Amino acid sequence: MRILVTAGPTREYLDDIRYLTNASSGRMGYAVAESAIAAGWQVVLVSGPVDLAPPENCEYIGVETTEQMRYASVDAFPGCDGVIAAAAVCDYKPLARVTGKLSKTGGPVSFEMIETDDVLAELGAQKEHRWVVGFALEAQNPRENAVQKLRRKNCNWIVLNNPSAIGSASNDVELLDPTGETVAHWSGNKSDVARSLIEWLDQQ
C-alpha cells in the first residue's frame, strides 16, 4: 500500500512579511503518516510549515502555500493507492499580494479575499480506482456539514472532528461514510487515533 498524506496548515501572504494561516500543529497528519509507516505502508507526506520532524522512511515534500500543496499532492496522487487529507489548508488568500512590506498609515486597511484552491476536491475528482479520506473540522451542524463535504469532494470516508483538535495532542473523531453513518469512533491521543484509522483502512 502506498498512500499520500497531507498535514499541517498552509500560509497565504498579504505582503512579503505577513500571512494568513491557522493554528494547526500538524500532529494528526504526522501521526497518520507514522502509523501507516509502522503498518508497512509507503507514505508520501506533503506538509505545510510545522514544528515537527518528518517521520523516518517516508517521502517528504515540504510546502508553504495552498497552491504549493495542491501541485505537490496532485503530482504525487497518481502513484498512490489512496490519500488521507489531514491538512488544514488556509481557505482564503488576498486577491493581490502587496510587494514588499505594507506600512502603517494610521487608518484601516482592507484586503479583497478570494478562495484558495480546493486540494481535497481536486484529489476526489481524480481518484478513479483510488480511495480518499478527508477531514472535516466543524463547529456548527457538524455531521450534516461533514457529510455534505464528503459528497461534494467525492471522498470515500470523512473524519469528523471539532475545533478543540487544533493544536491539541488528543482528538475525538467519528469516521463517516457517504450515507452519513458512523462506521467508527475513536478518542484519545492523536497517535492512538491515527493507529486505529490505519488499522481500520487496512481491513477494507
Q: Which alpha helices (H) appear in 10-156, and where do they start and end?
A: 27-38, 66-76, 119-125, 142-152
Determine which one of 22, 145, 154, 189 is catalytic.
22
Q: Is 22 a catalytic residue?
A: yes
Inter-residue contact 116 to 94 (CB < 8 Å): no
Alpha carbons 189 and 91: distance in angstroms, whole number: 27
Structural element, H or E, at residue 115: strand 113-115
Instruction: Produce one character per residue of 11-29: b if its CB has 16 or more CB atoms within 10 Å, e if not.
Output: bbbbeeeebbbbebbbbbb
3 state SS of 121: helix
Cβ contacts of 114 within 8 Å, gap of 6 or more: 92, 93, 94, 95
Alpha carbons 92 and 97: distance in angstroms, whole number: 12
Query: Catalytic positions, please?
Result: 22
